[in-house]
């Protein structure tokens, strides 16, 4: 092969390698839009929201308070995903003074402005996650292995070890599910990429989407926890007792000792 | 009678001599009371269970071998599942009518369990267990044990995530028995846990237990026919000597036929509306997977409730381990069923009956103070343990800590039955006092058999 004919091939190969390297640098294979770097931008809107809702406990410098009664942690260097998650689930600002309860529900625009503002101000770290739904069948297995022990096999929440009340995870934004798994908020453990890959997070999201729309009967019921199920069993037995009362003629719990109008029948 | 029926009956009668025994059967007297239908509800539920069970058996695979599932269920398409669970998924998604049959099987099982317990409570509260019916009471109690065993084996044949939790608890329960625990485990579970258990439970569930239950049912009904039905006391009726009620044909036959249709219709209607046997989201049993939503089935809540609210313990006594598992899952149900078997004799001792007297008249629930206190107290105890199982749901719903709900139930499980028993005793005493007061209506004392004068001329033995 002549050198003149080899040159274009080598050039195209170089382009291909460069493109592959660029693609790997951008995050490699994975669900499209799974990872986006948190935008950092100080804005008047973000500043106003932070001052109004956050600064009272976390301080204007974001370092939390020195007052021992104030448990607000420092925000400097915190994961952006954690801040985003806490805002998305309405945990901050707290409804109750002791930091519990669900407070405000933020609009997307406010939340994004606030996170961007805080990222710029306090050097929040790491990306914001927003996985695309994947394969629900894989998601079910991942969920059963890693999540069901605390969140219930239908994602309905419940009570975990130490009496921790675990929230329902059906019908949440994909970003909430992915970020919660990576950040491990409150008592929840953190799941590294070696345990649940980014792709599997998308699968879990798809599975929970499936659970959310599941309607097994005309009443719109999905799969039932045995406790709720027992209520329907009780309803069935109640209907059965009513049938018996109806069939026995008189709806009285026990016959009174008065003689009936006529006594019939014999052996 | 239609001509065709008459022709068939005459032809059979000429060969089998049916007329005389047939007359005795169709004239059998059934006293009319709603609570006397509870046993029939149980029987008809059993019939539905047999019918739907036959259908389900044709598609079920009693094995835990891995199997590639290919079918309409999107969550499992192209995945390897334990064969038992795969056949459940097939029944739910690929077999026409399979899901309805599965739900009806479960609905009928729930009704069966309930009706059996309600029937038992009726027998206990009305004193229908007294001499000469102690034998039939014991047969009935054995049938309840079989019903529980059937429900337990059936629930685990599904081989889903819940079955995993339930089998682990059964394993721990058996292993907790001192001295023979290890042998019990091997005897029930075979070798490897839990894959061996499917084929064993399958044989128990479709053959041995239903066979035993059918045998006892035949005996139960034969004894009811032999010993005639009890009835509630009525003024002017000597219930000790004859039964007042309606004959089998046509009145009771019509009532029972209606009841069959009601049971079938209600079970079918509820099965269309309530997904109580859907297990798509549970997933198959895999060791190492468990879920905190894995409550027991509702009829076992009382046992799991006791485990849940009372603290765990383990004592070493004489080289044996006495654990809370043993106390609440072996000793507690053992004591309850022991009490059930002993009760007819216990009450005779406590209430001081004449041991040689036959009783054919029911008492009303509050007629005997000791009985009202014991039966209602124990029922309240089991009921409170059952409610205690909902502690996590209550804690979430009321937004209080699980700990405080647990303490509430610890106290309530002991206090409520005591209060119920005391209230039943006091109320029963005051009812009896009022009835014995001069001027009160006579002839209603169920615990004083033969009290009323036989004023009715229609007397037969």
Q: Count Cβ atoms below 10 Å from residue B226 Cβ, excluding itself.
A: 9
pLDDT at A30: 41
| B205 secondary structure, DSSP code | I
pLDDT at B437: 80
Exposure letters B374-396 (e unless 16+ CB within 10 A, then b): bbbbbbbbbbbbbbbbbbbbbbb
Residues of B in Cβ contact (< 8 Å) with A242 = none
Measured in degrees and rounded to the nearest 5, phi and psi for residue A234 equal -65, -40
Of A256, A174, A238, the C-alpha closest to A212 is A174
Question: Exposed, middle or buried: residue B41 (CB in 10 Å: 0-12, 13-18, 19+)?
Answer: buried
**Which residue does chain B place closest to A256, by CA atoms?**
B234
When pLDDT is cut at 50, 70 and 90, the band that residue B76 belongs to is: very high
CATH of domain A136-213: 1.10.760.10
pLDDT in tens, A98-112: 555 556 677 888 888
Structure tokens at B2: 């239609």
Q: Which residue has the higher pLDDT, A218 or A254?
A: A218
Distance CA B432, CA B181 (A): 49
Provide mean pLDDT across the span A27-44.
58
Count Cβ–Cβ pairs < 8 Å, chain A vs chain B.
216
3-state secondary structure of A263: coil
A255 Cβ under 8 Å from any chain B Cβ: yes
A259 Cβ under 8 Å from any chain B Cβ: yes
Question: Are the Cβ atoms of B74 and A221 closer than 8 angstroms?
Answer: no
Check whether B93 has a pLDDT greater than 60.
Answer: yes
Q: Please list the residues that pair with A159 across neighbouring strands.
A: A165
Residues of B in Cβ contact (< 8 Å) with A232 = 270, 274, 276
Q: Which residue has the tokens 């079970």?
A: B267
Q: What is the mean pLDDT of chain A?
A: 76
pLDDT in tens, A162-179: 778 888 888 888 888 888
pLDDT at B327: 93
Overall pTM > 0.95 = no
ipTM for the assembly: 0.87
pLDDT at B290: 81
Residues of B in Cβ contact (< 8 Å) with A168 = none
In this structure, are residues B282 and B161 in contact, taking their beta carbons and an 8 Å threshold? yes
State percent of chain B over pLDDT 90. 60
pLDDT in tens, B253-287: 999 999 999 999 999 999 999 999 888 888 899 88
The radius of gyration of chain B's CA atoms, rounded to the nearest angstrom, is 25
Extract the runs of DSSP E, i.e. beta strands, from B48-175.
Answer: 66-69, 79-82
Q: What is the mean pLDDT of chain B?
A: 89
State the alpha helices, DSSP H only, in chain A.
3-25, 44-53, 55-58, 80-88, 108-122, 136-142, 148-151, 174-183, 198-213, 226-247
pLDDT at B11: 93
Question: In angstroms, what separates the C-alpha of B25 from chain A's closest C-alpha?
Answer: 10
pLDDT at B194: 80
pLDDT at A7: 63
3-state secondary structure of B160: strand
Question: In angstroms, what separates the C-alpha of B402 from chain A's closest C-alpha?
Answer: 6
Task: Identify whether B144 is preceded by a cis peptide bond (ω within 30 of 0).
Answer: no
Check whether A66 has a pLDDT greater than 80.
Answer: no
Q: Count Cβ atoms below 10 Å from residue B363 Cβ, excluding itself.
A: 24
- From chain A residues 11-30, the ones with a CB under 8 A of any chain B CB are none
Check whether A65 has a pLDDT greater than 80.
Answer: no
In this structure, are residues B285 and B161 in contact, taking their beta carbons and an 8 Å threshold? yes
pLDDT at A1: 47
The radius of gyration of chain A's CA atoms, rounded to the nearest angstrom, is 29
Residue extents of the structural domains in chain A: 40-122, 136-213
CA atoms within 13 A on the CB side of A250: 8
A145 Cβ under 8 Å from any chain B Cβ: yes
Provide mean pLDDT across the span B411-427.
96
Question: Are the Cβ atoms of A235 and B228 closer than 8 angstroms?
Answer: no
- Tell me: domain A40-122, CATH 3.40.50.720, correct? no
Check whether B375 has a pLDDT greater than 60.
Answer: yes
């Amino acid at each position: 092969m002549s050198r003149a004919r080899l040159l274009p091939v080598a050039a195209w190969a170089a382009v291909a390698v460069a493109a592959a390297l660029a693609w790997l640098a951008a995050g490699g294979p994975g669900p499209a839009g799974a990872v986006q770097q948190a935008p950092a931008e100080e804005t008047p809107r973000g500043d106003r929201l932070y001052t109004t809702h956050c600064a009272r406990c976390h301080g204007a410098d974001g370092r939390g308070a020195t007052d021992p009664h104030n448990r607000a942690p420092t925000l400097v260097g915190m994961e952006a995903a954690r801040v985003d998650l806490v805002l998305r689930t309405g945990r901050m600002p707290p409804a109750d003074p002791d930091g519990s309860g669900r407070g405000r529900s933020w609009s997307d625009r406010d939340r994004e402005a606030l996170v961007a503002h805080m990222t710029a101000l306090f050097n929040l770290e790491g990306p914001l996650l927003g996985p695309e739904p994947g394969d629900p069948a894989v998601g079910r297995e991942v969920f059963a292995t890693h999540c069901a022990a605390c969140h219930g096999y239908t994602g309905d929440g419940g009570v975990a070890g130490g009496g921790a009340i675990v929230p329902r995870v059906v019908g949440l934004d994909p970003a909430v599910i992915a970020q919660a798994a990576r950040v491990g908020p409150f008592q929840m453990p953190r799941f590294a990429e070696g345990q649940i890959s980014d792709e599997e997070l998308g699968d879990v999201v798809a599975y929970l989407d499936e659970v959310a729309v599941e309607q097994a009967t005309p009443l719109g019921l999905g799969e039932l926890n045995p406790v709720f199920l027992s209520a329907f069993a009780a309803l069935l037995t109640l209907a059965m007792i009513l049938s018996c009362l109806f069939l026995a003629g008189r709806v009285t719990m026990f016959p009174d000792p008065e003689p009936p109008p006529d006594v019939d029948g014999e052996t | 009678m239609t001509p065709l029926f008459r022709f068939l009956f005459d032809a059979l009668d000429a060969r089998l001599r049916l007329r005389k025994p047939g007359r005795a059967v169709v004239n059998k007297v059934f006293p009319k009371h709603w609570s006397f239908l509870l046993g029939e509800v149980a029987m008809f539920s059993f019939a539905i269970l047999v019918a739907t069970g036959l259908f389900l058996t044709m598609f079920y695979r009693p094995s835990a071998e891995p199997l590639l599932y290919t079918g309409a269920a999107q969550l499992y398409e192209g995945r390897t599942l334990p064969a038992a669970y795969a056949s459940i998924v097939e029944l739910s998604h690929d077999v026409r009518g399979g899901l309805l049959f599965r739900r009806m099987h479960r609905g009928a099982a729930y009704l069966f369990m309930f009706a059996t317990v309600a029937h038992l409570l009726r027998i206990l509260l009305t004193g229908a267990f007294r001499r000469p019916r102690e034998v039939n009471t014991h047969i009935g109690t054995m049938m309840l044990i079989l019903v529980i065993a059937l429900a337990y084996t059936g629930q685990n044949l599904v081989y889903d995530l819940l079955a995993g939790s339930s089998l682990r608890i059964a394993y721990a329960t058996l292993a907790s028995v001192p001295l023979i625990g290890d042998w019990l485990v091997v005897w029930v579970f075979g070798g490897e846990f839990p894959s061996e258990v499917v084929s064993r439970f399958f044989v128990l569930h479709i053959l041995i237990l239903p066979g035993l239950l059918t045998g006892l049912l035949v005996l139960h009904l034969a004894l009811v026919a032999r010993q005639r039905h009890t009835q509630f006391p009525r003024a002017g009726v000597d219930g000790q000597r004859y039964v007042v009620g309606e004959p089998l044909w046509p009145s009771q036959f019509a009532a029972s036929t209606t009841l069959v249709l009601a049971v079938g219709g209600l079970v079918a209607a509820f099965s269309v509306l309530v997904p109580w046997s859907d297990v798509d989201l549970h997933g198959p049993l895999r060791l190492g997977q468990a879920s905190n939503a894995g409550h027991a089935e509702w009829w076992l809540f009382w046992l799991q409730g006791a485990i849940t609210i009372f603290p765990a313990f383990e004592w070493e006594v004489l080289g044996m381990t006495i654990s809370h598992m043993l106390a609440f899952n072996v000793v507690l149900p053992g004591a309850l069923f022991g009490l059930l078997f002993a009760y007819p004799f216990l009450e005779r001792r406590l209430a001081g009956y004449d041991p040689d007297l036959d009783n054919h008249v029911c008492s009303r629930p509050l007629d005997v103070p000791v009985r009202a206190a014991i039966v209602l107290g124990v029922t309240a105890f089991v009921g409170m343990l059952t409610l205690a199982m909902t502690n996590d749901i209550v804690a979430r719903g009321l937004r209080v800590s699980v700990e405080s709900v647990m303490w509430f139930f610890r106290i309530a499980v002991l206090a409520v039955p005591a209060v119920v028993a005391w209230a039943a005793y006091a109320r029963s005493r005051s009812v009896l006092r009022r009835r014995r007061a001069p001027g009160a209506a006579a002839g209603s004392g169920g615990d004083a058999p033969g009290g009323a004068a036989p004023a009715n001329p229609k007397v037969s033995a």
